[in-house]
Structure 1
Amino acid sequence: MNPLDIARWQFGITTVYHFLFVPLTIGLSALVAGLQTAWVRTGKPHYLRATKFWGKLFMINFAMGIVTGIVQEFQFGMNWSAYSRFVGDIFGAPLAIEGLLAFFVESTFLGLWIFGWHRLPKRIHLACIWIVSVGTLLSAYFILAANSWMQHPVGYHLDTATGRARLTDFWAVLTNSTMLVTFPHTITAAFVTAGLFVVGVSAWHLARGRHVEVFRPSLRMALVVTFVAALGVAITGDLQGKVMTEQQPMKMAAAEALYTTERPASFSIFTVGTLNGGREIFSVKVPGVLSFLATGHFDGKVLGIDDVQAAEQAKYGAGEYRPIIPIAYWNFRIMAGIGFLTAGIALLGLWLTRRGRLPANRWVWRAGVVSLTLPFIGNSAGWIFTEMGRQPWSVYGVLKTSASVSPGVGATSMFVSLLSLTVLYGVLLVIETRLLAKYAKAGPPTEEEALGGDDSAEPSFTFAY
């Protein structure tokens, strides 16, 4: 393997791993804030118990997200120095704002929330967790603004003297058309992730008849959030598909493995192709659906891979502009399929738990626990599709990935780095899983513990972690 391949593997592994924590952090912070709001407004102890229980799991995930996210910054300078030099002027602004403003707000007010129990007035303490939640949204916005610029570069000019992209319009970067559909799609997916996380843990306890007064309200809240957010994922995903078709027609064609231009274009539920993804052997298709996803009309025209390849060669010069088709095709289906499945699970769960009911069938609870894993798989598939579907570009139409890798770092150094980080992240995965499982199985505090003035559990847990 050459340095480029190793650098791409390392960035892919570490980023997919980091992105396991980000959506859960975003969604869970808002759910915790919602539960604490319910306690402040009603005074009911079970809402306070739920707040402290889910808040502890949120803190574990938040801490792990910080640890794994730091490595992302190092990689830009270590493996992607040519890329960093090219985009530094563009990325500097949104990433600096994210670090100095959004993340500073998150960490500061999370500290106040952790140590402020029974010390701050109730409503001020409640405001702290809401500010943390808003901070996570701001962090996501600025990071996605930087990523959206890679998908659709705007607000810049190319400095021919230095070979660098220069920022000319920061507002254009923040209001990039790609950004305006990517942000709501990512945030709604984050709420699906947090919703099913709460569903899964609640189902585990309810199957055993434990803490019903805490976990049944948590379950119902999470099911509603999951269903509404899943609808949001579908709507924003549809909008994102139309923008993607306009800006990156190759990605849409690769998502369907559509080699020849069609009007109308069918959407395949399942396709078997050659090993290299170059030819379709068998497929099950729904007429007109791809046309609607791409254009908003069931008889719309969708360009095929071969035609887009020819057009991009004419525009950018000779080369291979097709991503790895099977990866794009299947990750798109995993992402979309899980999105619809989560909506169905939430709707079914709401029906089974209506009017105070709790299912007696243990298979229902087991399915609820297993459903916890679905959004993490879907998020990873969506990220892989988004980034690998853009290949061979690191900045679409401007900078190729092959020109972005560090020229002075050899394959051996990169391989040692890849191996070390993969092992480290494997260890962190074990730690994260065991911590979450330990505190999730322990259940919420008792009413006396939650209402008592002794809040030493929160600070001691934080320092121990």
Structure 2
Amino acid sequence: MHALDLARWQFAVTTIYHFLFVPLTIGLSGLVAVLQTAWVRTGKEHYLRATRFWGKLFGINFAMGVVTGIVQEFQFGMNWSAYSRYVGDIFGAPLAIEGLLAFFLESTFLGLWIFGWDRLPKKLHLASIWLAAIGTLLSAYFILAANSWMQHPVGSRFNPVTVRAELTDFGAVLTNSTTLVTFPHTVAAAYLTAAVLMLSVCAWHLVRHNEAAVFRPSLKLALWTVVVSGVLVAGTGDLQAKIMTRQQPMKMAAAEALYETSQPASFSLFTIGPLDGSREIASLRVPDALSFLATGDPHGKVEGVNDIQRQYEQRYGPGDYKPYIPLTYWSFRLMIGFGVLPILIGLLGLWLTRRGRMPTGTAFWRAAIWALPTPLLANSFGWIFTEMGRQPWTVFGLFKTADSVSPSVGAGQVATSLTVFTLLYGGLAVVELFLMLRFAKAGPPKPSTGTPPADDESAERPLVFAY
């Protein structure tokens, strides 16, 4: 394999691995803040115990996310130096703000929250977790703004003297139409992911009749969050599909393996035929669905791969502008399929727990436990579709992936780093899984025997729970 292929594999492996932790961090920070708010407002100890329990899982996940995220930025300079030189003036700005402002806010107040138990006044301590949660959202926004510029470059111009893209309007970069739909979609998916984790852990304990006083309120919070965030994921995803069709029509055509322009266009749930979809033997289709998904009109026209290829050749010159269609076709469907499953389980759970009831038997609990990987898989396939569907471009319409790789880095060097990172991340996966399972199975801390300290007590008061 060439250095380009290996560099793409390495970035894909490390990015997908890192993004397993990102949505959990975003979602758990908000859910923990809600539980702590309930404790501060009601004084009920089961909310405090729930806060401490889920906060511990949140802390483990946050630490792993930081460790795996550092590698991402190094790769821009190591394997993708030509890309970094071309877009550094633009791409670096939101990433710098993310590090200096958002991540600083997030990590600082998370540290105060972790070490401030029984040392800070209750309301000030509560504010710290809310500020940490806001920091995670700001981090997500600036990073997504950088990625959205790659999907839809705005606020910049090409300088033929320096052969670089230069920033002309930072406000346009931050208010990119792609960012404005990608951000709520990603955040909703993050809350769906965290809520499914909470649902699965609650199900594991409740089916064993462990700590019902703590896990029943958490179950209710998880179920409502799954349903509400799932609806938001679907709604924002629909908006994202329509904007994507306007900005990158080839990506939508590749998502359906639609080679010839159609009006109206149906959506295939699955197709039997060659992997590239060039010849259909049999398929299960929803009439007019692709037209509505792409244009908002069930009778709308959706351009095909062949027509778009001819347009791009006229605009950008000779070349193959088609992404790898088998991967875009199936990743798009797997993203939707794995995203729908937890929503259905959430709806079923709300019905079974209506008016204070609890599910009988083990069928629902088992389904809730096994639902744990579904949003993680949906997130991963969603990003695979997003990034692979943009190929052959690194920056759509401006800079190709083949031109982005570091010219001085050989295949042997990339292969070595790919092997090292894969083994290292495999080891970190074992550590993460061990810690999460250990503390999830251990359950919440034991009830306090004393009275929680008042807001104005001194910092010398003893700890009620050890973090």
* Class of the TM-score when normalised by the shorter of the 2 chains: over 0.9
Measure how far apart 1:449 and its partner are. 7.1
Measure how far apart 1:272 and its partner are. 1.8
Deviations 1:383-437 (CA, angstroms, capped at 9, x unpaired): 0000000000000000000000000000000000000000000000000000000
Q: Match of 2:332, as an amino acid?
A: F
- Paired residues in the alignment total 458
SS in 2 for 1:38: helix
Q: Match of 2:257, as an amino acid?
A: A
Equivalent in the alignment of 1:340:
340
Equivalent in the alignment of 2:284:
284
Equivalent in the alignment of 2:269:
269
Q: Match of 1:219, as an amino acid?
A: L
Measure how far apart 1:450 and its partner are. 9.3
CA distance in 2, matches of 1:279, 1:82: 38
TM-score, normalisation: structure 1: 0.97
Deviations 1:168-202 (CA, angstroms, capped at 9, x unpaired): 00000000011111000000000100110100000
Deviations 1:207-249 (CA, angstroms, capped at 9, x unpaired): 1000000001101101001100000000000000000000000
The answer to whether 1:360 aligns with 2:344 is no
Q: Match of 2:441, as an amino acid?
A: K
Equivalent in the alignment of 1:301:
301
The answer to whether 1:174 aligns with 2:174 is yes
The answer to whether 1:443 aligns with 2:404 is no
CA distance in 2, matches of 1:177, 1:162: 28
- Asked if structure 2 preserves the Cα contact closer than 8 Å seen for 1:86 and 1:164, the reply is yes
CA distance in 1, matches of 2:464, 2:278: 61
- Asked if structure 2 preserves the Cα contact closer than 8 Å seen for 1:49 and 1:450, the reply is no
**Is the alpha carbon distance of 1:249 and 1:157 closer, same or farther for their aligned partners in structure 2, counting shifts above 3 Å?**
same
Measure how far apart 1:455 and its partner are. 5.3
1:56-75 pair list within 5 angstroms: 56-75=56-75
Measure how far apart 1:281 and its partner are. 2.3
SS in 2 for 1:227: helix
1:55-204 pair list within 5 angstroms: 55-204=55-204
Measure how far apart 1:336 and its partner are. 1.2
- Asked if structure 2 preserves the Cα contact closer than 8 Å seen for 1:52 and 1:450, the reply is no
The answer to whether 1:457 aligns with 2:466 is yes
1:389-408 pair list within 5 angstroms: 389-408=389-408
The gaps in structure 2 that reach 5 residues or longer are: 453-461
- Asked if structure 2 preserves the Cα contact closer than 8 Å seen for 1:30 and 1:130, the reply is yes
CA distance in 2, matches of 1:155, 1:99: 22
Equivalent in the alignment of 1:461:
none
User: Which piece of structure 1 moves more, 358-367 or 191-200?
Assistant: 358-367
Deviations 1:39-97 (CA, angstroms, capped at 9, x unpaired): 00000000000000000000000000000000001100110000000110001211111
TM-score, normalisation: structure 2: 0.97
Measure how far apart 1:338 and its partner are. 2.2
SS in 2 for 1:280: coil
SS in 1 for 2:54: helix
Q: Match of 2:414, as an amino acid?
A: M
Task: Work out the percentage of aligned pairs sharing the same amino acid.
Answer: 66
Q: Match of 1:448, as an amino acid?
A: S
SS in 2 for 1:359: coil
Measure how far apart 1:447 and its partner are. 1.3
Equivalent in the alignment of 2:457:
none
Q: Match of 2:463, as an amino acid?
A: D
- Asked if structure 1 preserves the Cα contact closer than 8 Å seen for 2:445 and 2:465, the reply is no
- Asked if structure 1 preserves the Cα contact closer than 8 Å seen for 2:345 and 2:367, the reply is no
User: Which piece of structure 1 moves more, 281-290 or 21-30?
Assistant: 281-290
Equivalent in the alignment of 2:455:
none
Q: Match of 1:18, as an amino acid?
A: H
Equivalent in the alignment of 1:241:
241
Deviations 1:270-327 (CA, angstroms, capped at 9, x unpaired): 1122134432222111111100000000000000111111111111111111111111
The gaps in structure 1 that reach 5 residues or longer are: 459-465
SS in 1 for 2:272: strand
Equivalent in the alignment of 2:380:
380
SS in 2 for 1:285: strand
**Is the alpha carbon distance of 1:128 and 1:163 closer, same or farther for their aligned partners in structure 2, counting shifts above 3 Å?**
same
CA distance in 2, matches of 1:427, 1:231: 36
SS in 1 for 2:285: strand
**Is the alpha carbon distance of 1:455 and 1:150 closer, same or farther for their aligned partners in structure 2, counting shifts above 3 Å?**
farther
Q: CA RMSD in A?
A: 1.1
Equivalent in the alignment of 2:221:
221
Measure how far apart 1:353 and its partner are. 1.3
Q: Match of 2:39, as an amino acid?
A: W
CA distance in 2, matches of 1:450, 1:4: 62
Equivalent in the alignment of 2:422:
422
SS in 1 for 2:173: helix
1:28-47 pair list within 5 angstroms: 28-47=28-47
Q: Match of 2:98, as an amino acid?
A: E
CA distance in 2, matches of 1:17, 1:282: 35
SS in 2 for 1:270: strand
- Asked if structure 2 preserves the Cα contact closer than 8 Å seen for 1:277 and 1:324, the reply is no
SS in 2 for 1:448: coil
Measure how far apart 1:30 and its partner are. 0.2
- Asked if structure 2 preserves the Cα contact closer than 8 Å seen for 1:79 and 1:405, the reply is yes
SS in 2 for 1:407: coil
Structure 1 runs of 4+ aligned residues shifted over 6 Å read 449-452
CA distance in 2, matches of 1:444, 1:185: 32
